[in-house]
Structures are given as C-alpha cells and as structure tokens.
Amino acid sequence: HQVLRIKTRNEEEVQKLQLLESLEHLELDFWINPSTPALPVDVRIPANSVQAVKAFLESHGIEYSILIEDLQVVLDKEKQDMAYSQQRDRSSNSFNYGTYHSLDSIYAELDHLASEYSNIVSKLQIGRSYEKRPLYVLKFSTGGRNRPAIWIDAGIHSREWVTQASAIWIAKKIASDYGKDPSLTSLLNKMDIFLLTVTNPDGYVFTHTTNRMWRKTRSKNQGSRCVGVDPNRNWDAGFGGPGASSNPCSDSYRGPSANSEVEVKSVVNFIKNHGNIRAFLTLHSYSQLLMYPYGYKCTEPADYAELDALGRAAASSIQSLYGTAFTVGSICSTIYQASGGSIDWSYDYGIKYSFAFELRDTGRYGFLLPASQIIPTAEETWLGLKKIMEHVRDNPY
C-alpha cells in the first residue's frame, strides 16, 4: 500500500477526486477527504490499485506526491516497537507513556491511577460498547456536589492512536500536578474533569488485532456485509446532512439514525444526566487544527468571537512548547462541512466551550505517528487544554 498526497488546483479537480472516491472497487482509504482546493488530499491506496489511480491523476493533470512509499514497512516498525516496549514494561513493571498500548494495558493503567491518586481520581463506567466492552471515564474531583465540569474524550476514531495515548498521559498529568501546579489546583478546587480515554474500544481492539486503519465502530449494519458506523457522524446535530455518508461501506457512514451507536449514546446520556458540563473537548488526529462549531452548517455560532479568540490563545499555548503550529477556525471553514459531529451537538445542547483538536502531524506519518512523538504531542496538547479550562473556570455562564 502507498499513501499519496494529492494537490488540487480548482473545484473541477476536487470533483474528479470525489468521483475517484465513489469507485468502490479501488478500495481507497481517504485520510483527508477531497473537499476544497485549499486542502491537500491524503489517500491510502492498496497495491493493486496504485497504478490505476496514478494513471487517472496523470491523465487529468492532477499533481500528487508520495507521502508513504510502502505502508507495510511503517506498520511493521510500529508493531515491532510496541512489542519491544511491552517487554520492557513487563520487566520494569511500569507503564511507559511513550509507547502505544493495547486496550487491556490502558484499562489497567486507569485502575492504577485511580488507586495511586485515590484522593482525586475515581473510575466510572458510563456504558458498554457494541461488543460489550466497558466504557470507562476517569473523574478528577476534589469533592463538592455536582460541580461544574469539563468533558474530554479521545479515540472516537480508533486509528487515531496518538489521541488515546495522549489522553492517558494527560490523566497522569492531571493526577500528579494537583497540589503542585497552582493553576490546575485552583481549577480542580472549583470544577471536576471527566476524561474518556478510549471512546471507541471495539474499533481500537480491531486496529490492534486485524486492521490498523479501522476508523468506525464495529456494529453490524442491517442488510449490508459492511461493518461499523463513523461515530463522529452519529450525533444528533444536523444528522444525515452533508459530509456524512448513507452507505454502510463508507468510512464516514452516519448510521441508521442519530445516537444509534451505543458509544455515542452513552456519552450523550452521561452529559445530559450530569447536567452541569461547561466544556466539551474532543481529541482527534491528524492535521494540527483547533476547531469550534459548526460543522453541519457554515454559519458562525453565537459565541464565535469568544471561541475564536480562545482557540487562538490555546493554539499559541500549544505552539509555545515545540513550535507546533495549529490552525484555528470553525469546522466548516477549516476543513469541510460534516454533519453529526460531537461538538456541534454539545454546543447546540448549551455547552458553550466546545472544541475539537486534531493533533500531530500534518501528514508525514498521518495516523501512524511514531511513538517517539507521543509525549511531546501530549505535553503541547495539555497546554492547549489547560488554556481553555482556565478560561472556563474564570468565565462561568
């Protein structure tokens, strides 16, 4: 398999790529969808389609370059690195935050954090996945009754491994910085934080056992042999609109109805039952973007000025550490119109501070970010999250 980066010059070339996308027999996997001439399109192509796709692009004079020459080499290296660090972890009996882990290993670390920092960390189960795996949320709290709270989730798209890895590093950071970092300490003295490290556990296990590039849930689709729903097209916000597919075989299949996926429904129920969530922050990869609503429509949200300024402040905090540059804007103006996304739902539900992060990188490795970049990614992401959380703390509504 190869990954190509395609540069379109105009609408017409974008439409040619959308035509290519509709040819199912090519089995293309778009890492970045064709939407506007301003954005590059990254696509993974199975070996037996590579020649056909290149011929198609060349015949239409569309420019492309090879991002990843041989994907298998990158996959093999990732697997090898994981096995090596697993062995090292076993011998030292400690959790290595700088490597990718299995679901079981992540879940064991959640338990470890809840026992090591039992003064502020507890583990809640908010539901079960389609394949009956528990959905665990870590609650960071210094007491009080139903305090205003911040929601953070990661790994809703299972192949975005740096998000689950960053989330578990962030969990440790929050737990160990309480009482040491004055800003975080004052935050937790007023508010709670809820962190869902693996939103789509079935998909995540599948990326380890079967197909590293799997994105969706693993639910069965009636009347189709294709499995899974894109959980970030399944929320009740402009559900079924543009930028989501009605084809169960598509990677952005929206599902039969809003909240059909138990993973999405469990989060919605938790947030509604809590009743005092003030910020909804979700981690994706890749592209280095920080986005606020809307995605299902292209109009500005009521709080546009505040969200944009806060997004820019957070991006500047992120950049302050390693120089990683993030683009800030609404989903529709930054990437493309996409309906049924989580932050559109949370914003329309009344959670003003709703943001989606797209973490590293900008396409050199895409979803296959080397494990050596996990901790730097988590560190800079934490600075962005913290900037937003401080603003939420200081601006109650």
List active site positions.
Answer: 358
Cis amide linkage into residue 361, ω under 30° from 0: yes
CB 165 within 8 A of CB 207: no
Q: What share of the chain is helix, strand, coil (3-state, %, to 5)?
A: 40, 20, 40
Can you spell out the DSSP letters for 188-241? HHH-EEEEES-S-HHHHHHHHHT-TT--S--PBPTT-S-B---GGG-SSSSTTS
The residue to which tokens 């693996």 are assigned: 198
CB 259 within 8 A of CB 265: yes
Cα–Cα distance, 258 to 233 (Å, whole number)? 8
Closest by CA to 131, choosing from 234, 212, 205, is 205
The residue to which tokens 């990677």 are assigned: 251
Q: Which residues contact 202 (CB under 8 A, 6 or more apart)?
A: 129, 130, 131, 133, 158, 217, 218, 263
CB 29 within 8 A of CB 53: no
Using DSSP bridges, classify how beta strands 134-140 and 121-128 pair: parallel, antiparallel or unpaired: antiparallel
CB 385 within 8 A of CB 152: yes
Tokens describing residue 286: 């890749």
Using DSSP bridges, classify how beta strands 2-7 and 63-68 pair: parallel, antiparallel or unpaired: antiparallel
Rg (CA), the chain: 20
